[in-house]
Structure 1
Amino acid sequence: MDNDKRLVWTVEEVAERLGIGLSTAYEVVNAGTIRARQINRKWLIPKAALSEYLDGRDNPARVLSMDEVAEALGVHRNTVSAMLNEGTIRAVRAGRTWKIPLTALEEYLAGRDNPPAKEETYEE
């Protein structure tokens, strides 16, 4: 039983509770997959936010796998991999897998996430 009266956990505590590495925990927090607040230089995760994440009640921050994005776009998985490596679609690498926020895919499809194409200049 958790006798801790605090309302928040640190990233280190969350990583320990989830059995994941610290760098993976920071990636998840930075991606917005788990709600967190940064106070000065310290990230704090509300206990309720972790419960919501584990229960699947955190859908605003829903993330997709590379295969789900490939299916949604109707392209091959390798195409999605290339897009992620180029930064065409915003994503976070969590361990060996990519996590693509649903909002990032929506931004890409709406054209809001695309940087303008570089203009080519020709010298005569």
Structure 2
Amino acid sequence: MNNVIRFPAPDDLDDPVSLGDLPTAAIYTVAQAATLLGISSGLAYELVRAGEIPAKRLGRRWIVPRDRFHSWLNDLPKGA
């Protein structure tokens, strides 16, 4: 039985990794920004092209810097 796979016992495992241990992405995609705003991707792309949502062109892709997005969102007037 050379092809037997031995799974580690719970005591053999290192500390478990949680999602909180993973680094936070520095950027959002336009689709992710749209989801956060509760709007369609199409509308989000329109707002990005119009300069309303802070974004940068990276080759053929648009990226939304996370810090700038949250600053922009926090600076929006109430009810906007």
Q: Return the match for 2:47 from 14, 28, 37.
A: 28
Q: Aligned-pair distance for 1:33?
A: 1.1
Asked whether 1:49 is paired with 2:68, we answer yes
CA distance in structure 2 between the partners assigned to 1:26 and 1:19 by the alignment: 13
Identity fraction in percent? 32
Structure 2, unmatched stretches of 5+, are 1-18
| Contact kept? 1:11, 1:25, Cα under 8 Å | yes
- Is residue 36–residue 44 contact of structure 1 (8 Å, CA) maintained in 2? yes
| Unpaired runs of at least 5, structure 1 | 58-124
Distance 1:49 1:26 in 2: 17
Q: SS at the partner of 1:43?
A: strand
Task: For 1:1-124, list aligned pairs within 5 A.
Answer: 5-56=24-75
Structure with the larger RCO, 1 or 2 (CA within 8 Å, 6+ apart): 2
Structure-1 separation of matches of 2:71 and 2:23: 19
Moved over 4 A (4+): 1-4
- TM-score (structure 2 length as normaliser): 0.62
Query: How many residues are treated as equivalent by the alignment?
Result: 57
Judging by fraction of residues, say which structure has more helix: 1
Change over 3 Å in CA distance of 1:42–1:55 after alignment to 2: same
Distance across 2 between alignment mates of 1:42 and 1:13: 13
Shift of 1:54: 1.1
The whole-number CA distance in structure 2 between the counterparts of 1:50 and 1:36 is: 8
Q: Taking structure 1 as the reference length, what is the TM-score of the superposition?
A: 0.41
